[in-house]
Amino acid sequence: MLFLAWSFTQIVCAQEPINPNWDAQKIKGVRQFPYPPYEGTPFLTDTWRPGKIEFTTGEVADSVYLKYSSFKDEVVYYNKAAGAQINIDKESLNGFAFADTDGRNRLFRKQRFDNSSKGERYFEILSDGQTALLAYRKVELNVTSAYHDLNGILKNMAYNRLYQFYFYSPEKGYTSVRVSQSGLLSKFDSPLQRPIKKLIRKSKIKIDSEDSFIQAWKIVEKAGYQVVF
């Protein structure tokens, strides 16, 4: 939770001048081998983003340039001294955060997911509270119709974004939600759906994107409505 309290205004902090050894040595990982090049991207961001990582020990390493691989659900950092891209061991992290190109601060937390494909996943925290709104930024490599890539090589696979959204409560677990007004309303008891709809309308929110969905959820949550898991 401390992680959430980070001040993103200082996302690229200066390391202690006395000993850069101390921060750098904490990151454990394995060299990342390039993913096969297909249409689309396996990463959430195209460029290296300045960010922070929080270890399971509670320690934080900042001034790290990161990329999140949505394809493998891995965090990759660039180690300048080694000249290598390194997949940070998932076991060693609690989560990470980075500043996106549009200035958005994006926060990811490692959580156990016991629905389909059980294991630890990095979820983006879109809204945190008693019930959190999470996004699993999944990218899959699927077969597509044949195409020629930039080098003229014939290929039939592409990276496709298949983002999944969940409401999460530590006590009740996960429930998936579609990013639409009907998707949001379906997460509440039938008698409550009408007043919620009215509340959204009154707030002049039209749910047509991820951002407007988050905005609507925050208003609904603030009004005290409880998601049914």
Partner 1 sequence: MLQKIIFILLVVTTISGNAQDKTNLGFFTDRDVYVSGEILLAKIYSPTDNPSRIVYIDLVNSSGTRISGATIEIKNNEASGFLQLPDSLSTGTYLLRAYSKNTVSKLKIIREIWISNRFDGLKNTKQLKHIAGSQTIQEESTPQIKFEGVDASHPTNSNVTTTIKIDEMLLKEIDGNLLISVAQTNPSFESASYIWTSDQGKEGLTEKKGIILSGIVTDKKKSMPAAGATVYLTIPDSLPVFQYYQTQDDGRFYFQLDKYYGSVQAFVQCFGKTTAQRLKINMDELFAEPGNLPDFSQQPISDEFKSNNATNIDAVTFQKVFSQDKLKFQPSPKETFESYPYYGKPSNIVDPHLFIDLPNFTEISRELLPGVKFRNYNNEPTMQVMNAAARDYFNESPLILIDGIPIRNLNVIKDMGTQDIKRIEICQSERYYGNLRFPGVVAIYTTKSDYSRIPDSDQFIRLKLDAIQAQANLAEPEKSEPDIPDLRQTFYWNPSVEPQEMLSAKFSTSSILGKFKLVVRGRLKNGTMVLAEKQFEVK
Buried b (16+ CB within 10 A) or exposed e, 66-80: bbbbbbebbbbbeee
Closer to partner 1 by CB, 63 or 79: give it. Answer: 79
Spatial CB neighbours of 138, under 8 Å, sequence gap ≥ 6? 70, 73, 161, 162, 163, 164
Site string for partner 1, 19-58 (x = CB under 8 A): x-xx-xxxxxxxx-x----------------------xxx
Closer to partner 1 by CB, 110 or 187: give it. Answer: 110
Contact call for residue 89 and partner 1 (CB under 8 A): yes
Contact call for residue 157 and partner 1 (CB under 8 A): no
| From 79, 169, 212, 215, residue interacting with partner 1 (rule: CB under 8 A) | 79
The structure tokens listed for 27 are: 């990151």
Please give the Cα distance from 27 to 88 (Å, whole number). 7
Residue type, 79: N
Closer to partner 1 by CB, 27 or 196: give it. Answer: 27
| From 76, 86, 99, 139, residue interacting with partner 1 (rule: CB under 8 A) | 86
Closer to partner 1 by CB, 28 or 178: give it. Answer: 28
Contact call for residue 82 and partner 1 (CB under 8 A): yes
Please give the Cα distance from 136 to 221 (Å, whole number). 21
Cα dihedral 48, 50, 21, 96 sign: negative
Interaction site with partner 1 (CB under 8 A): 18-19, 21-22, 24-31, 33, 56-58, 79, 81-82, 84, 86, 89, 91-92
